[in-house]
Amino acid sequence: MRQALSGIVSKSISPLKTIMIIAMAVTFVVAGAASSFAARSAAIVVDAKTGKVLYSADADGRRYPASLTKMMTLYLTFEALAKGKISKNTPVVFSSKASAEAPTKLGVKPGGSVTVETAILSMVTKSANDSATALGEMIGGNETNFARMMTAKARQLGMNGTVFRNANGLPDPGQFTTARDMATLGIALREHFPQYYGYFSQRSFLYGRQRINGHNRLLGRIKGVDGIKTGYTRASGFNLVSSVSDGNRRLVAVVMGGTSGGSRDNQMASLINTYMPRASTRGGGDLVAKADSNPIKALAKVLLPKHDAPTPDEKPVAVAEADTAAADDATIAQGDSEDEDSAEAEAPKLVAPARKVKTVIVSAPKVATAQVVAAYAEPAPQAVDPVKTASVPSGWAIQVASSPKQSEAQAFLDKTTKQAPKVLADASGFTVAFDKDGVTYYRARFGGFGSKDAAWKACTALKKKKIECYAVQQ
Residue-wise DSSP of 170-212: ---TT-BB-HHHHHHHHHHHHHH-TTTGGGGG--EEEETTEEE
Separation of alpha carbons 45 and 295, rounded Å:
30
Separation of alpha carbons 311 and 75, rounded Å:
32
Can you point out the beta strands (E) in 64-219?
91-93, 113-115, 204-207, 210-213
Element spanning 400, H or E? strand 396-403
**Known active-site residue 96:** no
Separation of alpha carbons 138 and 91, rounded Å:
9
- Work out the number of other CB atoms within 10 angstroms of the CB of residue 69: 30
Determine if the peptide bond prior to 104 is cis (ω within 30°). Answer: yes
CB-based burial label for 59 (10 Å; 0-12, 13-18, 19+): buried
For residue 430, the SS3 value is: strand
Say if CB 210 and CB 108 are below 8 A apart: no
The 249-258 sheet, strands edge to edge: 53-57, 42-47, 249-258, 237-246, 225-233
Name the region of 141 (left: φ>0; alpha: ψ -120 to 50; beta: rest).
left
Closest CA to 70 of 105, 100, 45: 105
Residue tagged active-site, from 41, 49, 70, 95: 70
Helices (H) and strands (E) in the chain, counts: 14, 13
Residues with Cβ within 8 Å of 278's Cβ and at least 6 positions away in sequence, in order, are 54
**Known active-site residue 127:** yes
Q: Rounded to a whole number, what is the largest CA-CA distance in the chain?
A: 104
Residue tagged active-site, from 41, 49, 67, 428: 67
- Work out the number of other CB atoms within 10 angstroms of the CB of residue 2: 8
Separation of alpha carbons 345 and 269, rounded Å:
22
Count, residues in the chain: 474
Residue tagged active-site, from 99, 122, 127, 428: 127
Catalytic residue positions, numbered = 67, 70, 127
